[in-house]
């Protein structure tokens, strides 16, 4: 029996990881809270926003977390360590925590990272995305004993929502919620 309670998706950029999570949430009918990130085009590159997500209220608070001019980026650690960490700390009031996505930018955000690891040690199942990149933070997330990593490919992406549902044990995890 799989004792890992958290499912994190990884894979190529634009392969469908976030889409799979949205489909999972829609098809499962489970409630979720946490955060989702969004990239927006800007005059001098792209901007990364993080937003509080709640399946019953949609996306609310949002903050500009980084500016990207590939391959360089400017991280606003105060946004990750402030709003981002608070979103993670507040998450867990629903059946599932969504963390979409964890990446290299958070490497310097100690408060945010601590909040993520606290939730990884918890009983509320997490469904999220972890960037396919090497850094100490992401390597530690992927190696966490409660985490199952699923690599999304063009060949398997349509089946990922049902695979997520099979991989989490919502009923027992929910019973242990505070």
Per-residue pLDDT of the chain (178 residues; tens, 9 = 90+): 456 689 999 999 999 999 999 999 999 999 999 999 999 999 989 999 999 999 999 899 999 999 998 888 899 999 999 999 999 999 999 999 999 999 999 999 999 999 999 999 999 999 999 999 999 999 999 999 999 999 999 999 999 999 999 998 543 444 334 3
Q: How far apart are CA 82 and CA 60, in angstroms?
A: 15
* Residue 105, in any domain of the structure: yes
Measure the CA–CA gap between 24 and 159, rounded to whole angstroms.
10
Split into its structural domains, the chain has a count of: 1
Structure tokens at 160: 């990922």
Question: Quick check: is 83 in a domain?
Answer: yes
Strands 147-152 and 6-11 turn out to be parallel
The pLDDT score that the predictor gives to residue 3 is: 65
Q: Which residues touch 161 (CB under 8 Å, ≥6 apart)? A: 20, 23, 24, 27, 28
How far is 85 from 113, CA to CA, in rounded Å?
Answer: 8
Q: Is residue 167 part of a domain?
A: yes
Please check whether residue 81 is in contact with residue 28, taking contact to mean a CB–CB distance below 8 angstroms: no
* Domain membership of residue 125 as a residue range: 6-175
Q: How far apart are CA 76 and CA 48, in angstroms?
A: 10
Q: Does 1 reside within a domain?
A: no
CATH number for the domain spanning 154: value is 3.40.50.300
Tell whether 89 is covered by a domain: yes
Is residue 82 a contact partner of residue 94, using CB atoms and an 8 Å limit? Answer: no
Which residue shows structure tokens 């650690």? 77
- The answer as to whether 107 is a domain residue is yes
pTM of the model: 0.91
């Amino acid at each position: 029996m799989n004792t890992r309670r958290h499912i994190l998706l990884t894979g190529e950029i634009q392969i469908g990881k976030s889409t799979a999570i949205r489909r999972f949430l829609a098809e499962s009918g489970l409630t979720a809270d946490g955060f989702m990130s969004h990239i927006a085009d800007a005059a001098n590159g792209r901007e990364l926003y993080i937003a509080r997500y709640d399946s019953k209220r949609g996306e609310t608070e949002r903050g500009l977390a980084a500016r990207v001019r590939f391959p360089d980026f400017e991280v606003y650690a105060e946004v990750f360590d402030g709003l981002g960490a608070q979103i993670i700390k507040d998450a867990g009031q629903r059946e599932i925590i969504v963390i979409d996505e964890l990446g290299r930018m958070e490497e310097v955000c100690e408060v945010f990272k601590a909040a993520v690891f606290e939730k990884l040690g918890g009983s509320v199942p997490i469904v999220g995305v972890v960037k396919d990149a090497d850094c100490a933070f992401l390597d530690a997330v992927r190696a966490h004993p409660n985490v199952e990593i699923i690599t999304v490919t063009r060949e398997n992406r349509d089946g990922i929502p049902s695979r997520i549902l099979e991989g989490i044990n919502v009923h027992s995890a929910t019973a242990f919620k505070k």
